Amino acid sequence: MNHNNILFRRDRDTILFDDVNLRNIETKFGTPTYLFSADQIRRNIKFLREKMLEYNPQTSIAYSMKNNIIPEICTIIADEVDYFETTSMLEQKIVEKIILEKKKNIHIVSTNIYKPDGLIKEVIEYPNISSSEINSAKCHSFLAIDSYHDLKNIVKAAQRLGVKPKVLIRVNPGIKMDIEETIFASANISAKCAVVISNIKPIIKASNDPTIKIWLPERQFKPEFDTAERLVKEANESEHLDLVGLHCHLGSQITNIEYFDRFFEVVTRFFKIMNEEINDKMKILDLGGGYPVDYAHCECVPTIEDISKSLSKNIKNSGINPEIIIESGRFITANSGLLLSKITITKENSDGHKIAVLDLSTYSDLLDVLTAQWSYNYSLINELPDSDQKATWRLVGGTNDTLDQLTPRIVKCSNCKEQIIEKKEITFPRELVIGDIIAVKSVGAYTTCFNSNYCGRSKPLIVLKDSTSKQQILRIR
Ligand SMILES: Cc1ncc(COP(=O)(O)O)c(C=O)c1O
């Protein structure tokens, strides 16, 4: 389902986003301004939960905070989910404030590759803060151990505090992933996070599918300490740790369903194999995030339903029955936010291209355009013509920097593999003029966290539309 279709509606010569007239937002707040819909965030979570639960009844949804830590947005999300995935002290403090204000239990999964001592302490002590202030029920906190040295740091902190923290071992299944098509791949052999499953023979043996070998490349080098098998055993045997499960993460915006399928197969089989060695000690399987969003370039992203079915199939095939946690960020926030920007200058260059200069910058407002060659969907929202004349324009950011351009370059779809779109211009329904307003769609994930003051620019305002609040349109930054 493409949520964007229901979100945007034309009304005479403008566009409504979730029933908000975008011209009114521009008039009232100026540009560049992000507009978020709280209602869409709620709809996304409801959709994700329903589709996951339909095939996997023991699933809890965690919100992966790193993609958007605006406190007002986290507060809305806190009403809808049971867990937050945190990676830093600031994220931790935001959750703590929310649970105390709301008097609602939220569990924590702390996942960062490096966890400073202060953060480890904060996470270990989190259940105390929450239970004393909220009610007799306890919030839980889990530390996802990322490496051998991370385990040692957590053991030291646990010893000092005299508390046995609940831990998950963050496992890298080391599957074959084409980095070109999955720029944020996190489950391939060279990934920087997690500890790799070193012995793949038992998984290959347990699988009924001979093609699994193609997906599980031989490990050329076997680390002495940083393997998933070693960490599971060390954590299990440690008198300072309470091993409760595994953690893993395929990557972000993974658009190939086969990756999900093989990832689920390998981690569920590994869960079973390790649990047989440690008396079924592990009860939780946290599968991380990565649930993809339909951005501008391709309609081929796997649906949550397909992903959920694949998970259910693999859980059954592996014969396990864990509590499942999924940590979603992008799917929850991306299409709930847009960025309004004004055309400040138009110009032509000698190769005949028409250039429209926006009052935003990719560096500070849409960083993924640069780091991940992201292409968003750009729509004109004012004085829309009745008939489509079609005019093509290059859109660029408002700094002198050469890379500061919004126009998509190369887009490769992992599902219809041959299709490589190389586009330098964007088509609009009429010629653009100075003062026109462009909406950049589906920018709710990751963008606001990267906002900076590059070139002395101010950070864009952030406005929230929430139909459940008294003041339906609220400026939050
Ligand atoms: C451990 C972990 N969980 C969850 C996520 C969220 O991924 P997404 O925003 O694609 O859902 C990330 C993102 O990188 C991650 O590293």
Same domain? 317 vs 457: no
Residues 307-320, mean pLDDT to the nearest whole number: 98
**C-beta 253 within 6 A of ligand 1:** yes
Of residues 3 and 239, the one with the higher pLDDT is 239
- Looking at the structure, do residues 279 and 363 belong to the same domain, yes or no? no
pLDDT at 149: 98
Residue 276 belongs to some domain of the structure? yes
Does 89 fall in a domain? yes
Ligand 1, atom nearest to 292 Cα? 10
Q: What is the CATH number of the domain that holds 460?
A: 2.40.37.10
Q: Confirm if 154 and 120 have CB atoms less than 8 A apart.
A: yes
Tell me if 453 is assigned to some domain.
yes
Domain count along the chain: 2
What separation in Å is there between the alpha carbon of 272 and the centre of ligand 1? 24
Mean confidence (pLDDT) of the chain: 93
Task: Give tens-digit pLDDT for 411-432.
Answer: 566 666 555 666 678 899 999 9
Please answer whether residues 61 and 48 qualify as being in contact, where contact means their C-beta atoms are separated by less than 8 angstroms: yes
Contact 248, 170 (CB under 8 A): yes
Residues 6 or more apart in contact with residue 177 via CB below 8 angstroms: 185, 187, 188, 251, 259
Domain boundary among 328, 358, 390: 328
pTM above 0.75, yes or no: yes
Domain boundary among 302, 328, 354: 328
Q: How far is the CA of 329 from the centre of ligand 1 (A)?
A: 6
Q: Whose CA is nearest to atom 2 of ligand 1?
A: 288
The CA 144 to ligand 1 mean position distance, Å, reads 13
Q: Verify that 161 and 296 share a domain, yes or no.
A: yes
Asked whether residue 45 is assigned to any structural domain, the reply reads: no
Band the pLDDT of 132: cuts 50, 70, 90.
low
Give the span between the Cα atoms of 88 and 97, in whole angstroms.
14
| Each residue's pLDDT tens digit, 15-74 | 999 999 999 999 999 999 999 999 999 999 999 999 999 999 999 999 999 999 999 999
CB of 327 within 6 A of ligand 1: the answer is yes
The set of residues, in sequence order, having a beta carbon less than 8 Å from that of 132 and lying 6+ positions away, is none
CB atoms < 10 A from the CB of 3, how many?
A: 18
For residue range 84-114, list pLDDT tens digits in order. Answer: 999 999 999 999 999 999 999 999 999 999 9
**CATH number of the domain that residue 116 is part of:** 3.20.20.10
Our mutation pick for probing the ligand 1 site, out of 77, 172, 252, 448, counting the most ligand atoms within 8 A of Cβ, is 252
pLDDT band at 182 (very low <50, low <70, confident <90, very high): confident
Which token pair is 357?
């200069």
CA proximity to 408, closest of 439, 437, 448, 368: 368
User: Does residue 23 line the site of ligand 1, with CB under 6 A?
Assistant: no
**Sign of the CA dihedral running 16, 18, 24, 25:** negative
470 and 362 in a common domain? yes
* Residues 20 and 96 occupy one common structural domain: no
Evaluate whether residue 75 is within a structural domain.
no
Average pLDDT over residues 229-245: 98
Over residues 264-280, the mean pLDDT reads 98
Q: Nearest C-alpha to atom 12 of ligand 1 is from which residue? A: 289
Given pLDDT bands bounded at 50, 70 and 90, which one contains residue 1?
Answer: very low
Whether 333 lines ligand 1, by a CB cut-off of 6 Å, is no
Residues 421 and 460 in one domain: yes
Ligand 1 atom closest to Cα of residue 290: 10
Among all chains, which residue has been given the structure tokens 């002495």? Answer: 224
Ligand 1 mutation pick, 61, 63, 66, max ligand atoms within 8 A of CB:
66
Does residue 290 line the site of ligand 1, with CB under 6 A? yes
Q: How many CB atoms lie within 10 A of CB 356?
A: 25
Q: Check pocket membership of 249 for ligand 1, CB cut-off 6 A.
A: yes
Higher pLDDT, 279 or 4: 279
In one-letter notation, the amino acid at residue 418 is E
Looking from the CA of residue 251, the nearest atom of ligand 1 is 14
251 lines ligand 1 (CB under 6 A): no
For ligand 1, whether the C-beta of 330 sits within 6 Å is yes
For the cut 80, the answer to whether the pLDDT of residue 14 exceeds it is yes
Domain boundary pick from 328, 362, 385: 328
Assign residue 435 a region: left if phi > 0, alpha if psi is -120 to 50, beta otherwise?
A: left
In a domain, 55, yes or no: no
Rounded Cα gap, residues 95 and 71, in angstroms: 9
Ligand 1 centroid to residue 394 C-alpha, Å: 32
CA of 62 to the centre of ligand 1 (A): 10
Q: Which candidate, 213, 178, 203, places its Cα nearest to that of 266?
A: 203
One domain for residues 315 and 350: no
Q: Tell me: do 362 and 308 sit in the same domain.
A: no
| Same domain flag for 95 and 190 | yes
Residues 119, 199, single domain; the answer is yes
Residue 68 lies in a domain: no
- Domain of 339, in residue numbers: 3-37+335-475
73 found inside a domain: no
Torsion of Cα atoms, 155 then 161 then 164 then 165, to 10°: -80
Contacts of 243 (CB under 8 A, 6+ apart): 167, 168, 169, 232, 235, 236, 278, 281, 282
**Residues 369 and 317 placed together within one structural domain of the fold:** no
SS (H, E, C) the chain: CCHHHHHEEEECCEEEECCEEHHHHHHHHCCCEEEEEHHHHHHHHHHHHHHHHHHCCCEEEEEEHHHCCCHHHHHHHHCCCCEEEECCHHHHHHHHHHHHHHCCCCEEEECCCCCCHHHHHHHHHHHHHHHHHCCCCCCCEEEEECCHHHHHHHHHHHHHHCCCCEEEEEEECCCCCCCCCCCEECCCCCCCCCEECCCCHHHHHHCCCCCHHHHCCCCCCCCCCCEHHHHHHHHHHCCCCEEEEEECCCEECCCCHHHHHHHHHHHHHHHHHHHHHCCCCCCEEECCCCCCCCCCCCCCCCCHHHHHHHHHHHHHHHCCCCEEEEEECHHHHHHHEEEEEEEEEEEECCCCCEEEEECCCHHHHCCHHHHCCCCCEEEECCCCCCCCCCEEEEEECCCCCCCCECCCCEEECCCCCCCEEECCCEEECCCCCCCCEEEEECCCCCCHHHCCCHHHCCCCEEEEECCCCCCCEEECC
Q: Which residue has its alpha carbon closest to ligand 1 atom 13?
A: 252
What is the spatial order of strands in the sheet that 8-11 belongs to?
Answer: 8-11, 14-17, 20-21
pLDDT over 90 (residue 380): yes
Query: Quick one: 152 and 263 in the same domain?
Result: yes
